[in-house]
Amino acid sequence: MQLKVLEIQGFKSFPDRTRLTFGPGITAVVGPNGSGKSNISDAVRWVLGEQSSRTLRGAKMEDVIFGGTQTRRSQGYAFVSLTIDNRDRALPMEEDEVTVSRKLYRSGESEYRIGSAQVRLRDVYELFLDTGLGRDGYSVIGQGKIAEIVSAKDSDRREIFEEAAGIAKFRFRRTEAERRLAAARENLDRLRDILGELERRVEPLRQESEKAKEFLVLAGEKKTLEISLWMDNLRKARALIRAEEDKILVEQSRRKELDGEIAGVEAEIAALYQKMQEASVQAEEARSQVKSREEAAAARTAEIAVCENNREHNQQAQREIAAQLEESGQAGAESEQAIAALESLMQEKSAALDALRQEGEALGRELAASQEEGTAIQREIDRQRALRDAVYLDVSKAGAEKDASASLLEEARARIEEGARQDFASLLAEVEAQLAQAKEDLTALEEEASGLENTGKGYRLRLERKAAKREELLAQRQKWEDQLREKSQRARLLEDLENSMEGFAQSVKYIVKQGKKGLLQGIVGPVSQLIAAKGEHALAIETALGGAMQNIVAEDEEAAKAAIRQLSRDRAGRATFLPLTSVKGNRLDVRSLSRQAGFVGLAADLVTYDPRFEGVVAWLLGRVVVAEDLDAAVAIAKGARYQFRVVSLDGQVVNAGGSLTGGSTAKSAGALSRRTEIETLTQEVSALTAKIGELEKKLLAAQGEIGRDQAELTALESRKKTLSEDAIRLESRLQRLTQRRQELREARDFAQGETQRLSARAKELEGQNQAAHRLLEELTARLSEVEIQLETALLRKEKHQGLLGELQDRLSQNSLSALAAEKDVERLSGRRDQLRQQRENQANRGQELIARAEALVGENAAIGKKIEDLQAQRAQSQRQAEELRGKILELMAQRETWEGETTQLRGREKELSAKREDSARSLARLEERRLNLQGSYDGVIQRLWDEYEMTRTEAEALAQPVKDLPAAQRRLQELKGKIKALGNVNLGALEEYEEVSGRYEALKGQVEDVTQSEEELSRQIGGLTREMREIFAESFQKIARQFSKIFAELFGGGRASLSLTGEDVLECGIEIAVQPPGKVIKNLSALSGGEQAFVAIAIYFAILTVNPAPFCLLDEIEAALDDVNVDKFARYLRRLCGKTQFIAITHRRGTMEEADVLYGVTMQEEGVSKLLELKVSELESKLGMK
């Protein structure tokens, strides 16, 4: 068995269909890092059934599908197939070539195939058991897995040894046998439980079956007799109803005649009433006109009084005007005298004002001259101060120059001394050493920061993926929580409606409430609360039940009678009761109907209920068939000659007898639908709660992973920040040290010539200092002279300011006196002008009064004329009012006559109405008797339907003549007594007994079979365990011997061994002990990485020697070896390739040189791997090599 072909398409970096053909020997796959060569080993692992995305170097399984590049679109699936040469029939199949393939779609769907047949992953796993292939085999070994052989715990190394020993197949079989044994024991326990339950049910069912047979015989006779009695009652009731209907017709004719006479009288009364109404309207209009005329006369009288009052008022006004004219003449003379006195006083005040103004002008001129003199004195003072400041500034400047020259001289001398003391050579050497150390520290920081940045990128990518996954989980949780909240609210609403019995009649609520309180005994509950139906059947069942859903089930007749008495006593309404002891129904035989199109089932079979309610359910639903739709319902009813009701799933009804009832129905309006919806919602809420709980666990796990990664990333970022701050400090230190070095060099160069220059400068500064000292003495003497002159000028200014103040006081006093005189003149002038204005106003007022007196004379003449006109109008209104009062008296007399005639007609109407009421009462009594008879008749018809679902026509066909009525009634009571004596009858017990007894016998046989199977499985597991121990122990010893031999050969000496760490060879760990030449090793961890890899390779070669795998794919397992050991590894591969075909993914030269075929993997297009095949023998031939 060898690997012939590997085909890849859409897997990782191989988007195009890629085919690798393998021959015997060694095939090497080479290529640069990142070219995708390891994806070939991942493809082989994947097609052999690998389920771990981490093993395949991905975050999730979808990552194996080609994700696309900038120039290529992503693939929709990944496909890998492996073709194996099976001519030696190493695989349990008859084909010479066996192809195993795996395909994964981006939607998450996957498929496995062996050949062209689609299989399960388990089938692929079983195919390669004990061949070394498969997901847990040792045919595909990577660098990580080869290292695990050494680094893993003793107990974790068993997997590869078990596969090599060939016991994986036995372990798989034992696991399967143990699983079947556990299932058999569980099944046996379940069967024994069921068998025990059936044993308890068989005998009671047999007794109930015999009782049911007797009940059916009695019920059949009772039905025939009861229907015959009812039909006899119907015939008698119909004859009485016809007699009452004849009487009703006679009375209705008499009442019609009385109605005609009453209508004539009412018409005459209406005509007289109309005339009286018209007379009343005319009289009312006349009264209104009388009132209007009287009001007009009164208005004229009032206007006359107003006019006379106005005339008297005008005459009084004329007398007042004459008096005002006389007073105005006297006031004018007084005003002329006052004006003359004011003008004389004004002349005196004006003369005094002129004298004050002349004095003020003289003082002003004298003050101006004095101010000019003060200005000249101030200018002299300012000049002396400026001169003093200038001299003082020269003194300060000379002193500063003297001090500066002295300071510079001192500084120059000090710098000369300091330059002589400095050692620039040692300072520069110290700075150079510090610079070198800082550069070395900075390089180390940058390298560490680069490593942290790469690690951080990995953490951030993982965080982004995990955060995206968490967001998906949160969105899903929100969606489910919204659904849960909506369904919970709906369920609570429906529960509230159910608890409050919404939709039930008040009488039903009352009885149920009394029963729950314990005030009524034997009340079970409404029918709708005792049965349940699936959602699709609920509407049909509600329609079939109709008002019967509110019927109340009682334990017996006494409980029902007690409830009825309670309703009557409390006036709580009416209700129908179904005693369990008396309500017994039967079921239709629907076996012939079940073959008809659209048949759903018998309504009684579509509900679930407690068996004790069988009689009630059979009575209500035992003769109702449910069909898919109205067409099917009509067809079924027609085929049965309309002998029973048929209800469609959407609530349409075909009644017995052929009538149809249907139309629209409010969705979920019934109590049964409500209870069904509550149960459905409860299940959905539980399911959603469980799903949310699972999701919460996933969220917690995801949050924990994110938290851990975030903590790691935070630590990295903190370290990066610390490194960045350290780097900034080092860079700053480098700048400072560099600058310091430059400063020292410049200082050294400058200091060499600065000493000479400073010596010359010191001599120059000493001469400048002496000259500055002499200038300072001259300027100090000049400053003293200027200060004496300034003091003299200040004394002159003080004397002049005293004279100037005296002149200013005299001028201010003059100005105040002149201002007071001006105010007196202005006041007198204003008073004179005011008196002149009063004189003019008095003259104008006199003219106005004369004009007003003349107007009043004309106005009084007009008022007299108006009074005469108003008196004439008042007389006319009084005459018209008297005429209208006479007309009113005539109208009232006519109305009294018509009222007398109306009274006579009312008496006639009352007499006729009394006769009509007598007729109505007679008609009502007749109608009541007819309705009572009809009610009795309809009650019998309803009982026919309620009890037996039969129409009157059907009942007539079944009824027999009643010859002896008392004897028939006695027989009916006798039958009812016998049926009651039977108690509760379970009609379903007939079929149930047959079913349960047959099932009981069948289960007894099954228990015996399962017991035998349990014993056989236990024996099989024991045999497999013994065989596994023997095979593993033998194979392990062979592998241990080969390991010791191969280790010494590969290492050039030394010792190595494998040993078991426990007594149970199937469960113990495996210990590895090695001692390379010249070394003493107590722990494998003391070996170098290359030595550990070589030890693992030696174990791997030992396994292949004992149990060669058909082919092996090695993924850079020699990467950790040096060149010498790589050559040893490659030569040993060549020794083993006689029995095993090797495919080596490598980049080591020694391995490539031993290969027969080379495949080169390149990535010419970014993200897309390509293959190049090269046969080494052909290359050697072309190159003339061996």
- Contact, 167 vs 159, CB < 8 A? no
pLDDT of residue 313: 78
Q: How far apart are CA 706 and CA 465, in angstroms?
A: 10
- Domain-ending residue, one of 649, 669, 689: 669
List of long-range contacts for 725-730, beta carbons under 8 Å, 24+ apart:
726/445, 727/442, 727/445, 727/446, 727/449, 730/438, 730/441, 730/442, 730/445
Cβ–Cβ contacts within 10 Å for residue 150, how many? Answer: 20
* Annotated binding residue 32: yes
Report the candidate in 109, 121, 158, 112 with the shortest Cα–Cα distance to residue 138.
158
**Residue of higher predicted confidence among 100 and 996:** 100
**Residue of higher predicted confidence among 1006 and 1103:** 1103
Question: Could you tell me if residue 85 is inside a domain?
Answer: yes
Residues 6+ apart with CB under 8 A from 566: 511, 514, 519, 520, 572
CATH number of the domain enclosing 531: 3.30.70.1620
- Domain-ending residue, one of 618, 637, 669: 669
**Does the pLDDT value for residue 386 go beyond 70?**
yes
DSSP-derived letter for residue 257 is H
DSSP-derived letter for residue 868 is H
- Domain-ending residue, one of 625, 648, 669: 669
**Does the pLDDT value for residue 1186 go beyond 60?**
no
* Annotated binding residue 802: no
Which amino acid makes up residue 914?
A
DSSP string, 441-485: HHHHHHHHHHHHHHHHHHHHHHHHHHHHHHHHHHHHHHHHHHHHH
DSSP-derived letter for residue 167 is -
**Does the pLDDT value for residue 969 go beyond 80?**
yes
Report the candidate in 1105, 1100, 1095 with the shortest Cα–Cα distance to residue 1050.
1095
**Does the pLDDT value for residue 668 go beyond 50?**
no
E strands present in 237-282: none
Which amino acid makes up residue 23?
G
* Mean pLDDT of the region 895-901: 77
Q: How many domains does the chain have?
A: 2
CATH number of the domain enclosing 1115: 3.40.50.300
Residue 228, Cα to own-chain centre: how many angstroms? 69
Question: Could you tell me if residue 521 is inside a domain?
Answer: yes
Which amino acid makes up residue 718?
S
DSSP-derived letter for residue 74 is P
**Does the pLDDT value for residue 753 go beyond 70?**
no
Residue 283 pLDDT level (bands cut at 50, 70, 90): confident
pLDDT tens, 1066-1089?
778 788 888 888 777 777 777 887
* Mean pLDDT of the region 310-319: 76
Instruction: Give the lowest-confidence range in 287-291, 617-621, 627-631, 782-786.
Output: 782-786
* Annotated binding residue 34: yes
**Does the pLDDT value for residue 155 go beyond 60?**
no
Instruction: Give the lowest-confidence range in 399-413, 881-895, 1031-1045, 1111-1125.
Output: 399-413
pLDDT of residue 417: 61
* Annotated binding residue 1150: no
Model-level pTM greater than 0.75?
Answer: no
Q: How far apart are CA 1014 and CA 1021, in angstroms?
A: 11
* Mean pLDDT of the region 402-431: 64
**Does the pLDDT value for residue 632 go beyond 80?**
yes
* Mean pLDDT of the region 378-399: 69
pLDDT of residue 404: 59
Question: Could you tell me if residue 108 is inside a domain?
Answer: yes
Residue 151 pLDDT level (bands cut at 50, 70, 90): low
Question: Could you tell me if residue 653 is inside a domain?
Answer: yes
* Mean pLDDT of the region 54-63: 83
The domain containing residue 605 runs over which residues?
504-669
Query: Which structure tokens are listed for 1085?
Result: 């961890």
* Annotated binding residue 33: yes
Residue 648 pLDDT level (bands cut at 50, 70, 90): very high
pLDDT of residue 578: 92
pLDDT of residue 163: 67
* Mean pLDDT of the region 277-285: 78
pLDDT tens, 328-354?
666 666 667 777 777 777 777 777 777
pLDDT of residue 1183: 44
Question: Could you tell me if residue 943 is inside a domain?
Answer: no
The phi, psi pair for 55, rounded to 5°, reads -60, -35
**Does the pLDDT value for residue 49 go beyond 60?**
yes
Query: Which structure tokens are listed for 981?
Result: 């004596």
pLDDT tens, 112-150?
999 888 888 878 877 877 666 665 567 788 766 676 677
Question: Could you tell me if residue 263 is inside a domain?
Answer: no
Task: Please tell me the number of Cα atoms within 13 Å of 693 on its side-chain side.
Answer: 6
Question: Could you tell me if residue 382 is inside a domain?
Answer: no
- Contact, 14 vs 35, CB < 8 A? no
pLDDT tens, 775-807?
666 767 766 776 677 677 777 666 766 776 676
- Contact, 1172 vs 1160, CB < 8 A? yes
Q: How many residues are listed for the chain in this entry? A: 1186
**Residue of higher predicted confidence among 14 and 264:** 14
pLDDT of residue 113: 93
Report the candidate in 1069, 1139, 1136, 1055 with the shortest Cα–Cα distance to residue 161.
1069
**Does the pLDDT value for residue 988 go beyond 90?**
no
Residue 1184 pLDDT level (bands cut at 50, 70, 90): very low
Residues 6+ apart with CB under 8 A from 13: 36, 39, 66, 1163, 1167, 1168, 1169
The phi, psi pair for 765, rounded to 5°, reads -65, -30
Instruction: Give the lowest-confidence range in 86-90, 410-414, 505-509, 956-960.
Output: 410-414
Q: How far apart are CA 482 and CA 913, in angstroms?
A: 72
**Cα angle for residues 961, 962, 967 (degrees, 5° grid):** 155
Given 3-state DSSP classes, what are the helix, strand and coil percentages for the chain, each rounded to the nearest 5? Answer: 75, 10, 15
Q: Is 416 exposed, middle or buried (0-12, 13-18, 19+ CB in 10 A)?
A: middle
- Contact, 271 vs 905, CB < 8 A? no
Q: How far apart are CA 108 and CA 92, in angstroms?
A: 31
Question: Could you tell me if residue 796 is inside a domain?
Answer: no
Instruction: Give the lowest-confidence range in 121-125, 1061-1065, 1179-1183.
Output: 1179-1183
pLDDT tens, 158-188?
677 776 666 766 777 777 777 777 777 777 7
**Does the pLDDT value for residue 1181 go beyond 60?**
no
**Three-state secondary structure call for residue 490:** helix
Q: How far apart are CA 676 and CA 607, in angstroms?
A: 11
Q: How far apart are CA 885 and CA 891, in angstroms?
A: 10
Query: Which structure tokens are listed for 251?
Result: 């009375």
DSSP-derived letter for residue 8 is E
* Mean pLDDT of the region 681-698: 86
pLDDT of residue 1185: 46
Report the candidate in 565, 549, 569 with the shortest Cα–Cα distance to residue 557.
565
* Annotated binding residue 655: no
**Three-state secondary structure call for residue 725:** helix
